[in-house]
Each structure stands twice: as C-alpha cells, then as structure tokens.
Chain A
Amino acid sequence: MIARALLIAGLACLATAARAETLVTALSTERVSIESNFTGSGVVVFGTIERDEQTVARAAPYEIVVTLTGPLRTMVARRKERVAGIWINREARQLPRVPTFLAIATTAPMADVAGNPVRARQGLGFDMLPTRGLPDALPPVRTDFDAAFFRLMQKENLFDLDEGAVEFLSPHLFRAPIALPANVPIGWYTATVYLFSGGVLLAKTTQDFSILKGGFEQAITDLAHQQPALYGLATVIVACFTGWLAGVAFRRD
C-alpha cells in the first residue's frame, strides 16, 4: 500500500500544473479473480489532491465521494398482488441499464458534500441515480418500484452507502476501502472519484477494473455457455458415473 501511495505521489508530480485541483487516483488491484473458495473480497481506492501556487485557496474542506459501479443491466421490478386469495406478481416496471452493483463511500454525509442539483447532474447517490435514461438537472422522480429496487439491492448487499468511509491519510492523500460481497456480479466495474469543496465539484476521475472468475470456474462457465450441449452431455455422464460408482461401492449382494 505504501508502494501504491508512492506511485500515486510520483504520478502526481508528472501531472501538469493547473489552476484548479488535480485529482490523481489508483486502485489497489485492477482485477479480482473469483476462485472456488471466494467468499467476498475488497478493493481500495487511493487518491491524492494536487495543488500548485496558482490554485485558489478553499474556504471549505475537501470532500471525497468514491463510487464503484458494476455492470449495467436492465432490471425488472415486480409487485405482488392478491388475486383469488393468493399472492402473485402483477405489475412490473423495467429499469433500463441500472448498475447491478453500486458501492458509495464518502468523507461526510452525502447531503453535506453537495446539494441536490449538483448530485442530480452527476447521478450521484441512491436518491439521484437515474432509473430511466441519463442524469438530468432535476432529481429523478421515484416510483414505488424504484424504491423497491434500491431497498432490495441494499438488502442483497449489492448496493451500499458508507458515509465517512473515505479516510484522509494526510491533508491531500486519501484512501477508500470498498467491500465486495460474495454475491458480487461478474464483469467490468468503474471506480469514480469525485472531489468537492463547499458543494462544488472540482474534479472527477474514473478507472476501470474487472471482477472475473478464476481459471477453473471460468472454464466451467465458458463450457456451459459456449458448448451447452457438450456441457449437458458431460454433466449427464458425470451423474451416471457417480450413481454407478455408488452402486458398486455400496453393493450388498
């Protein structure tokens, strides 16, 4: 981690001087591999805020928001209703291209970091994340279905908001640990770091990283999806062989 921090500091020195602050960030890992003993993992986002003599002095302290966004998918939220005495799914709403994973870490409560208009434009925060298209200047209108989506995703540990998790190691160097639960979706992730001061967005960086299955797990998944017939046949043969083996092993006559 110290090596990482030094690397960031080194990178920061190369960054060109500017009037506004420059944000330089790095991830503790660029790739998480899911092996057979995977029960969750974590990634740490490091960053430093670069200033030079020309940078204006800020009256308010720096605030950092780090988001880790998982692969975007179209989700369906359904509501049960009582029909003829039983509870069945009736109404459904599609939520086009919403994240399947979203972890947010901040230095302070979200409302103190930036006001609603600023966050709405960035789609930042569970209350501002657009569920119908792109971020807008106005906060998105939430239906019961949207609310259920956010509630259920948080219950599954796939959405998480940790206010105060971003820690300043020095006045300009910070780190944000983000936990990846066992049920974390596979795919490409984007880590976005926002730098705020006094409710104004000063800088923003994005970095990609991936969560992929390990060699054996990936081989099985590849076979299941690319050679489904072969995979099915192999499964049947394995099952028959297991049954036969058990029959022989426990034969009593």
Chain B
Amino acid sequence: MDLYLPIAEMPMNVFLLLGMGAAIGFLSGMFGVGGGFLLTPLLIFSGVSPAVAVASVSSQIVANSASGVLAYLRKKTVDLKLGLYLTLSGIVGSSIGVWIYGVLRGLGQLDVVIALCYVAFLGTIGLLMAVEAVRAMLAQRRGTPLPVRRPGQHGWVAGLPLRVRFHRSRLYISVLPVIGLGAIIGFLGALLGIGGGFIMVPALIYLLRVPTAIVIGTTLMQTLGTMAFTTFMQSASNQTVDVILGLTLMVGGVVGAQFGARVGQSLRGETLRLLLGLLVLAVGLRFAVDLVVRPDELYSVSRMGGG
C-alpha cells in the first residue's frame, strides 16, 4: 500500500516505512541510541531527497526521545541542570547547523559534506567503541580487571575555568566542555539528521565522567530539546519536514524500540557495545566507499535553490 508524502512529493510503501521505523527503533531500543544515523541514510538510499530526509527524521527522533525521557524521569535518572546546559548550547549549535545546511545546499556541496561527516564521525566513534568493547571482553576472559582511573583524575577537562556544580551527577566541572559538547552535537544533529546520542553518551562518560546511571536519561533530554528545536527550525526556514513521513516513522519506531529494549537487556554490555560499534563503523564505511569509488553517474541534476 503506497502512501503519498505531501512534502517529499513522492509515494512510498507504508509498510516499508513502518518497517524501517520499527527496525531502527528496535536497534535504538537495544543500544540506547536514537538511530537517526541509520534512518537518515536509509531514507536517502530509498530516494527521499536528503533535505526532506534529514528534516523529517528529526521529528521522529523527537518522538523517540520523548518516550525515553519520560521513562528515565520516572526513574529519576536525569540530571536536569546538566541537561538544560546541554540543551541550550545544543540549540545554539542547531541554529548554526540549519544555516550551514542551507548554504551548502545552495552550493551543491551538501551531499559530500554529509558523507564526509558520516565517514569521519561514524568511522572514529565506531572504531573506538569496537576496540574498547573488544579490550573489555578480552580482559574479562583473562580475568584481569581493566585499569580504572581514580575518581580525582579528570585530565585536561578539570583545568578549565568557569566551574559549575551539578548536584545530581555529583560533579563540579567547568561549563566550557559542557557547552562545547552540546553545541557540537546540536550542530551535527541539524546538519546530518542525527540525534547524536552515540557521540554524547561516550563523551559524557569518558570526558565529563558523568555517572553511567545518569548518562542516558540526560542525553535523551538533550536530544529531545535540541531535536524539537531542529524540527521547528527546519520547518520554519527550509520547509522540508514531511509530517506524514515523520509520523509513519514514529509509529514504527516507538513500537520497535520496546522490543529492542527487551533484547538489549538480555545482552551483555560489552557485546552490545561491540555490535553497536561495528554497526556504526559499517555505515561509515558505506559512505567512504561511495566517496572513493568512481560513481556510475558523474552528473546530477537538481532544481535551482535546492530540492
């Protein structure tokens, strides 16, 4: 059954869309990430224009993170103050991202920048995750615990000025890395149509040393705030959010996420991180191959002013 998408101006099979949403939702529930980094490329490969794909996926991420935040708020594992700092800086980053997006689209270089960013970020994060997970697994097999850093050891981040106390996370750290992190994730989110959870989670754990229990809820809060703003901005300035496409993906996504979460709970942490790392790496590689291999068609045609 085909459904005509009014903003994308093309019909797509409704079951394919629900299935995509559900599959990505399943993975996101399993790994605790938004899944935008998989869903946006999937839509682009299905023929949706990158402009509409990136903007519409942001609305799907809002729905996904909203249901997540509610669950974590009930468990009281959200640092609202830290989340607020991250969200506000994320909104600033997102505004810049939406603007750069429009500029690149006009220059005809949006696709290559998106591809390069995917390669760089997914490649790096995927590799780091996979390596870390394998090391943890090997260490466990040998029975030697990994060297754990002492609580006082904060690295270069601790040396920065403008410290703020985050009670819920039991942290007294500079706001500069917090704001920087939020802004970068917001920027990438708007530019690439990703929630950025897969970057935010490790950054909060390893860089800011936020307690693991607080990390996911706080990340989801930042994702919700930033992506809600991004959806609004993409609608207001680029008019590329397809609400029918977004809604279909949301319905599939939220259902898939529930089943994914159940499977995720039954898997070991290291296995989960290794699988996620490999998945992220695979998407990055897919983009790298497209960039390096000589394309079959060297030409492309688009309407003046994007689209």
Contacts and interface: CB of A to CB of B under 8 A. Distances in A.
A54 interface: no
Nearest to A77: B301
A213 interface: yes
Contacts of A231: 235, 239, 241, 243
B251 A242 contact: yes
B6 A86 contact: no
Nearest to A149: B301
A253 interface: yes
Given A183-B9, A228-B239, A229-B232, A75 B304 contact: yes
Contacts of B292: 85-87
Contacts of A220: 6-7, 243-244
Contact of B109 (A77, A89, A225): A89
A163 interface: no
B87 to A, nearest CB: 14
Interface string B231-248: 111111101010110110
Nearest to B244: A220
Interface string B180-219: 0000000000000000000000000000000000000000
A8 B111 CA distance: 51
Nearest to B113: A88
Given A73-B304, A234-B243, A145 B299 contact: yes
Given A213-B6, A236-B59, A152 B235 contact: no
Contact of A240 (B6, B228, B251, B258): B228
A235 B303 contact: no
B300 A77 contact: yes
Given A37-B3, A89-B112, A229-B236, A239 B302 contact: no
A206 interface: no
A238 B304 CA distance: 32
Nearest to B235: A232
B64 A243 contact: yes
Interface in A76-114: 76-82, 85-89, 92, 94, 100
Interface residues of B, number: 60
B4 A217 contact: yes
B67 A247 contact: yes
Given A74-B304, A92-B108, A152-B300, A239 B7 contact: no
Contact of A235 (B65, B66, B112, B246): B246
A246 to B, nearest CB: 3
A75 B224 CA distance: 37
A243 B254 contact: yes
Contacts of B108: 76, 78, 89, 92
Contacts of A88: 109, 112
Contact of A224 (B7, B11, B294): B7
Contacts of A38: 2, 4, 11
Contact of A243 (B3, B6, B70, B116): B70
B295 A87 contact: yes
Nearest to A74: B304
Interface string A202-228: 000000000001000110110011001
Contacts of B112: 86-89
B141 interface: no
B295 A76 contact: no
A38 B74 CA distance: 44
B301 A153 contact: yes
Interface in B282-304: 291-295, 297-304
A236 B62 contact: yes
A243 B66 contact: yes
Contacts of B293: 87
Given A218-B6, A246-B63, 16 more contacts: A76-B108, A87-B295, A88-B109, A144-B299, A152-B301, A183-B9, A231-B239, A243-B66, A243-B70, A243-B254, A245-B254, A246-B255, A246-B258, A247-B68, A247-B70, A250-B258
28 contacts: A38-B2, A38-B4, A39-B11, A76-B303, A77-B300, A78-B300, A82-B294, A87-B112, A87-B295, A88-B112, A94-B304, A100-B303, A148-B297, A213-B6, A224-B7, A224-B235, A224-B239, A228-B237, A229-B232, A229-B235, A233-B232, A234-B243, A238-B246, A239-B62, A239-B228, A243-B64, A243-B250, A245-B254
In the A-B complex, the 8 residue pairs with the smallest Cβ-Cβ separation, listed nearest first, are A243-B66, A232-B235, A148-B299, A246-B254, A239-B62, A247-B67, A243-B67, A232-B232
Interface of B: 1-4, 6-7, 9-11, 59-60, 62-68, 70-71, 74, 108-109, 111-112, 116, 224, 228, 231-237, 239, 241, 243-244, 246-247, 250-251, 254-255, 257-258, 291-295, 297-304
